Structure 1
């Protein structure tokens, strides 16, 4: 039996899953296995900063705590710097997308995103 694979969910996927209750996203997450879903500390911060009020923030924290949190480390930071240097001018790579990509590359896991255009040019990054 093949070991189940961890997958990192981008912020857009988390918003669709948690706030918008998107059935298609929910079904895809079921296929991956909810216990295999990871989030970056950047996505955690993006969602919490986008909270509408205290109640919404508490609900987001409760939902996000169900996933594996991938913290930043010095190696991820180095990969992030390399990605920014390589792709910021040529492809418009944003800081948060570079950090999320660096996290995926470090942990060798695919990225589940609804914004493939923001990531598809990054060498070695697997998108699902």
Structure 2
């Protein structure tokens, strides 16, 4: 699915989403659009799908059990230790192209490495790794 052209997605499916253009002040001719519902976000760059976000009540899982609401520790047993990515996102050491969010109100910069493992995953993003 990642890498597919927007024209390859049926109009019926795209019509289920609200669309917002994202303006990049540093790259003037970049065509970037965010298609979103309450549960799924699709990012298209130059009409190519480059990122998928899953949030709120999305029910899909990997390995029949890992998904939104799962504890980070459970993901770590499959995908490796957590590291901080180049753009301050949380990623797994053994998995490229996936990052996630947790409730950030329960940890600080001093204790994040220990506390994150106990948190429930609230958002998952799958993206093209360049």
Global fold match (TM > 0.5): no
Between structures 1 and 2, the one with greater strand share? 2
Larger RCO: Structure 1 or Structure 2 (Cα < 8 Å, ≥ 6 residues apart)?
Answer: 1
With the length of structure 1 as denominator, give the TM-score of the two structures. Answer: 0.24
TM-score normalised by the chain length of structure 2? 0.24
